[in-house]
C-alpha cells in the first residue's frame, strides 16, 4: 500500500529533510496520497502513503507510540488486523485510527518479532526502538512486498525499491559477479541483485541493525518446510481448500477504496472473480489485456465470464509507441532487468484500472503452489522422465514439434537436479553453448539450498520438490513484477492464492493431491473449478503470452532498438564475450523463430542497460 525508506549515517552525520525528501520522491509512485518523515540525528525514515484503510490523516505514517519510544514505517496489509486488535483492546490498548498499521505497532511493542508468525498479510516494515537504539527490518513470508538495503563506509540505506538507495547517495553499478546467473536464469536468486552492493532482505526474514548502521543479526522467521510439518492433518482437502480460498478472498476484500480484479480468462483469475461474486461482494470490476489478431488472445473468454456474473468488464490492447513507452517505464519501475516481459502490459492495465480502483486482486501464485505449468510434467512421474530421455538422442531434424525440440534441449542439461533448477528457463546451457557460450561459472547455491530443503520435506516426489523450489525462486520474481507494475500505477495488488493459511495447508497435504494429469492443479479444479463453466475449465492454458517476435521485426518502435542492440556496451562485459550475438540476430531475422528466446533476452537486457545507464 506504500513505499518506505530509511537511512543511517555511520559517521554521526545528521540526516536532513532535503535528503529524505529526495529519497521519498524516488518512490512517489508507490504512495502519492501522503508523505511523512522521522529524523533523529543520524537516522531518518520516510513513508509515502497509498491510502487503502482509514483514509483520514490518522492513518498517515510514521506511527510513533504514545511514549515516543517506538517508530514504525510499514508497507503492506495485515488482513487479520481486526481480530488482533480485539486482543490488544483486551490487554488495555486503545486506538486513535482504524488502520492496521497502528495494530501492527502495538503488536510489535507487546510481543516483538515473535508476532510475525501470527500475521496474515504481506508486508515490509521498519520498527525502531529508540531506547535500545535498535532497528528491525522485516519482510513477509512469500516476498509479496519488497525490501532492499545496501551499505558502504558512510551509511546504510533501505527502501522498497533500489532507486530509493540510489536517491540516497548509493552508487548505481552493475554487479558483474551475477551476470552469468542473470543471463542464464533471467533473474538473480537469493539476496543478491543486479546492482553491486544492493541486496534484498529475503522473504520470511528479519534483520536487526544498530543505530550506528551495523547489521547485528539476520534471522529467518518463516520456513515453509517447518510450518508444513507442524500443520494439523487436513481430513477433507477439497472442502478445506474451498473454505480457505473463500476466506482468503474475504480478507483481501477488506478495503476503504474500490477493489477490482485482473481477469485473464484462465482458471486462476476466474476463480478469484467467482469467489467475490458468490460471496455477495458488490461494485466489482474486471480488467483484461487483449491482443487483436493473435491466437493467444483470451479477452472474449474473460468478457463472457465477467458479463455472466454481471461484473463490469474492461479490456485494452497496448501496441506500438504506447507499449514501448510502457515497457520503458516498467524498466524504470522495476530497476532490475525485466524477466517475464509482460511488465509494460500490466503497468498499462493497472493505469487504466486506477481510474476506478486502488486495489486489484490477481490469480498469481496458483501455478507454483498447486502445480499448473505444463513444464512441470517432465518431473511428475519417474517413468515419464525416463521415457523422455530418448529425446536426447533424436536429431532436431526429426522433431517437428517445437515443444519437443525445447524438451530435448532441456534434457541435455546435466542431471535432474540441475534440470529442476532450470525448469522455468527460456534458454538452456545447450542453447548457450551452441551459440558460443559464456565466460565464467554459474552460481546456483541458493537454488541448491532450497532444493535440498525441498528434498527433505518431499523425499519421494520430484514434482513437489520442484514446486517448493519454484515457490522460493520463480514465484518471487512474479511477486516483484506484480508489485512494481501495479505500484507503478499507484495500485495495490493482492494475491489470494498466497494466503499463508492456503499455502502452508496445501504444502502439508500428501503427494496424492499433486500430479500434472490434464492441466494439473487438482485441488483447484476439483473444488472451486466445479462451480465454473466449461468454457473456463476446458479452455487451453495460455497465460499472458506476447508476440514479441512480430514486434521486434515489424513495429518500428521496437525494431529501432532491435537493430541497434548488438552494439550495447552491456555485451562487452566478460559474460558475453564468446556469445555470437550478430549471428544470433541474423538467424532470427530469417524466420522470426530461430533463437527467439535468446533474442528476447538480449533485447530486454540491452534495453534495461540503455535506460538505466544511458548507453
Tell me, yes or no, whether 230 and 216 share the same domain. Answer: no
| 544 or 433, higher pLDDT | 433
Q: CATH number for the domain including 515? A: 3.40.50.620
Return the CA Rg of the chain. Answer: 24
Residue 12 has pLDDT above 90, yes or no: no
Tell me, yes or no, whether 516 and 592 share the same domain. Answer: no
Tell me, yes or no, whether 70 and 113 share the same domain. Answer: yes
Residue range 363-392: mean pLDDT, rounded: 95
Tell me, yes or no, whether 40 and 189 share the same domain. Answer: yes
∠ at Cα 160 (22, 501), nearest 5°? 160
Note whether residue 324 is domain-resident.
yes
* Cα 486 from Cα 470, distance rounded (Å): 22
pLDDT for the residue numbered 395: 86
pLDDT for the residue numbered 249: 98
Which of these, 105, 99, 78, 73, lies nearest to 4 by C-alpha position? 73
pLDDT for the residue numbered 293: 66
Tell me, yes or no, whether 176 and 322 share the same domain. Answer: no
292: pLDDT confidence band, cut at 50, 70 and 90? confident
Residue 550 has pLDDT above 80, yes or no: yes
Residue 393 CB neighbour total at 10 angstroms: 7
Pairing of strands 2-9, 155-159: antiparallel
Note whether residue 91 is domain-resident.
yes
Structural domain ending residue among the three candidates 489, 512, 534: 534
Residue 295 has pLDDT above 80, yes or no: no
Based on the number of CB atoms within 10 Å of its own CB, is 607 exposed (0-12), middle (13-18) or buried (19 or more)? buried
% pLDDT > 70, the chain: 99
**Nine cell digits for residue 11:** 559517521
**Residue range 186-221, pLDDT digits in tens:** 999 999 999 999 999 999 999 999 999 999 999 999
Tell me, yes or no, whether 230 and 361 share the same domain. Answer: yes
405: pLDDT confidence band, cut at 50, 70 and 90? confident
Note whether residue 420 is domain-resident.
no
* Cα 404 from Cα 603, distance rounded (Å): 25
Residue range 113-118: mean pLDDT, rounded: 98
**Residue range 445-458, pLDDT digits in tens:** 999 999 999 999 99
pLDDT for the residue numbered 490: 98
Q: CATH number for the domain including 174? A: 3.60.20.10
Note whether residue 178 is domain-resident.
yes
**Residue range 255-286, pLDDT digits in tens:** 999 999 999 999 999 999 999 999 999 999 99
% pLDDT > 90, the chain: 91
Residue 609 has pLDDT above 90, yes or no: yes
Structural domain ending residue among the three candidates 175, 200, 222: 222
**Residue range 316-368, pLDDT digits in tens:** 999 999 999 999 999 999 999 999 999 999 999 999 999 999 999 999 999 99
Average pLDDT of the chain to the nearest whole number: 95
Which residue range is the domain that position 273 belongs to?
Answer: 226-370+467-534
Structural domain ending residue among the three candidates 534, 561, 592: 534
**Residue range 138-194, pLDDT digits in tens:** 999 999 999 999 999 999 999 999 999 999 999 999 999 999 999 999 999 999 999
Based on the number of CB atoms within 10 Å of its own CB, is 334 exposed (0-12), middle (13-18) or buried (19 or more)? buried
**Residue range 502-524, pLDDT digits in tens:** 999 999 999 999 999 999 999 99
Pairing of strands 148-151, 198-200: antiparallel
pTM: predicted TM-score of the whole model, two decimal places: 0.96
pLDDT for the residue numbered 543: 66
Note whether residue 540 is domain-resident.
no
Tell me, yes or no, whether 18 and 120 share the same domain. Answer: yes
Tell me, yes or no, whether 250 and 150 share the same domain. Answer: no
pLDDT for the residue numbered 413: 82
Tell me, yes or no, whether 187 and 231 share the same domain. Answer: no
**3-state DSSP of 280-341:** CCCCCEEEEECCCCCCCCCHHHHHHHHHHCCCEEEEECCCHHHHHHHHHHHHHHHCCCCCCC
Pairing of strands 43-49, 63-64: unpaired
Q: How many domains does the chain fold into?
A: 3
Tell me, yes or no, whether 259 and 293 share the same domain. Answer: yes
Tell me, yes or no, whether 217 and 237 share the same domain. Answer: no
Tell me, yes or no, whether 477 and 334 share the same domain. Answer: yes
Note whether residue 188 is domain-resident.
yes
* Cα 23 from Cα 47, distance rounded (Å): 10
Amino acid at each position: 500500500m506504500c513505499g518506505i525508506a530509511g537511512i543511517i549515517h555511520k559517521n554521526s552525520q545528521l540526516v536532513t529533510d532535503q535528503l529524505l525528501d529526495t529519497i521519498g520522491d524516488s518512490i512517489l509512485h508507490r504512495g502519492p496520497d501522503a508523505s511523512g518523515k522521522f529524523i533523529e540525528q543520524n537516522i531518518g525514515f520516510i513513508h509515502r502513503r497509498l491510502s487503502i484503510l482509514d483514509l483520514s490523516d490518522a492513518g498517515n505514517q510514521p506511527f510513533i507510540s504514545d511514549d515516543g519510544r517506538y517508530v514504525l514505517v510499514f508497507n503492506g496489509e495485515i488482513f487479520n488486523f481486526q481480530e488482533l486488535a480485539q486482543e490488544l483492546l483486551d490487554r488495555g490498548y486503545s486506538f486513535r485510527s482504524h488502520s492496521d498499521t497502528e495494530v501492527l505497532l502495538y503488536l510489535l511493542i507487546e510481543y516483538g518479532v515473535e508476532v510475525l508468525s501470527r500475521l496474515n498479510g504481506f508486508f515490509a516494515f521498519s520498527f525502531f526502538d529508540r531506547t535500545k537504539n535498535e532497528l528491525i527490518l522485516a519482510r513477509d513470508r512469500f516476498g509479496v512486498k519488497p525490501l532492499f538495503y545496501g551499505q558502504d563506509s558512510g551509511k546504510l540505506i533501505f527502501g522498497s525499491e533500489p532507486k530509493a538507495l540510489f536517491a540516497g547517495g548509493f552508487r548505481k553499478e552493475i554487479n558483474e559477479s551475477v551476470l552469468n546467473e542473470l543471463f542464464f536464469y533471467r533473474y538473480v536468486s537469493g539476496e543478491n541483485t543486479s546492482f553491486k552492493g544492493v541486496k534484498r532482505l529475503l522473504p520470511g526474514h528479519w534483520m536487526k541493525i544498530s543505530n550506528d548502521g551495523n547489521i547485528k543479526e539476520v534471522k529467518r522467521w518463516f520456513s515453509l518446510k517447518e510450518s508444513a510439518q507442524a500443520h494439523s492433518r487436513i481430513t477433507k482437502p477439497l472442502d478445506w481448500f474451498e473454505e480457505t480460498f473463500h476466506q482468503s478472498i474475504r480478507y483481501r476484500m477488506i478495503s476503504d477504496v474500490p477493489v477490482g480484479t485482473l481477469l485473464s480468462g484462465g482458471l486462476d483469475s476466474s476463480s478469484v472473480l467467482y469467489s467475490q461474486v458468490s460471496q455477495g461482494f458488490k461494485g466489482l470490476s474486471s480488467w483484461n489485456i487483449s491482443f487483436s489478431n493473435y491466437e493467444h488472445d483470451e479477452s472474449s473468454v474473460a468478457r463472457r465470464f465477467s458479463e455472466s456474473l454481471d461484473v463490469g468488464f474492461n479490456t485494452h490492447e497496448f501496441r506500438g509507441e504506447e507499449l514501448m513507452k510502457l515497457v520503458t517505464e516498467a524498466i524504470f519501475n522495476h530497476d532490475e532487468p525485466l524477466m517475464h516481459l509482460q511488465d509494460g502490459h500490466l503497468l498499462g492495465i493497472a493505469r487504466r484500472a486506477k481510474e476506478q480502483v486502488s486495489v486489484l486482486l490477481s490469480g498469481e501464485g496458483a501455478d507454483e503452489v498447486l502445480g499448473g505449468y505444463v513444464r512441470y510434467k517432465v518431473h511428475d512421474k519417474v517413468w515419464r522422465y525416463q521415457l523422455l530421455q530418448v529425446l536426447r538422442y533424436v536429431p532436431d531434424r526429426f522433431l517437428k514439434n517445437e515443444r519437443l525440440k525445447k524438451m530435448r534441449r532441456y534434457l541435455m542439461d546435466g542431471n535432474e537436479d540441475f534440470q529442476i533448477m532450470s525448469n522455468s528457463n527460456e534458454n538452456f546451457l545447450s542453447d548457450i553453448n551452441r551459440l558460443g557460450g559464456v565466460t565464467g561459472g554459474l552460481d546456483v547455491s541458493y537454488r541448491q539450498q532450497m532444493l535440498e530443503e525441498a528434498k527433505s520435506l518431499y523425499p519421494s516426489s520430484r514434482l513437489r520438490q520442484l514446486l517448493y523450489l519454484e515457490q522460493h525462486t520463480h514465484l518471487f520474481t512474479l511477486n516483484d513484477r506484480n508489485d512494481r507494475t501495479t505500484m507503478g500505477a499507484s495500485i495495490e495488488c493482492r494475491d489470494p492464492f498466497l494466503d499463508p493459511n492456503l499455502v502452508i495447508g496445501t504444502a502439508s497435504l500428501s503427494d496424492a493431491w499433486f500430479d500434472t494429469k490434464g492441466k494439473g492443479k487438482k485441488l483447484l479444479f476439483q473444488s472451486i473449478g466445479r462451480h465454473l463453466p466449461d468454457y473456463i475449465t476446458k479452455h487451453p492454458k495460455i497465460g499472458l503470452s506476447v508476440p514479441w517476435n512480430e514486434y521486434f521485426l515489424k513495429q518500428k518502435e521496437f525494431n529501432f532498438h532491435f537493430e541497434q542492440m548488438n552494439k550495447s556496451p552491456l555485451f562487452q562485459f566478460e559474460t558475453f564475450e564468446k556469445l555470437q550475438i550478430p549471428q544470433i540476430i541474423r538467424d532470427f531475422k530469417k524466420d522470426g523463430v530461430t533463437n527467439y528466446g535468446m533474442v528476447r533476452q538480449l533485447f530486454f537486457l540491452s534495453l534495461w542497460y540503455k535506460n538505466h545507464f544511458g548507453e
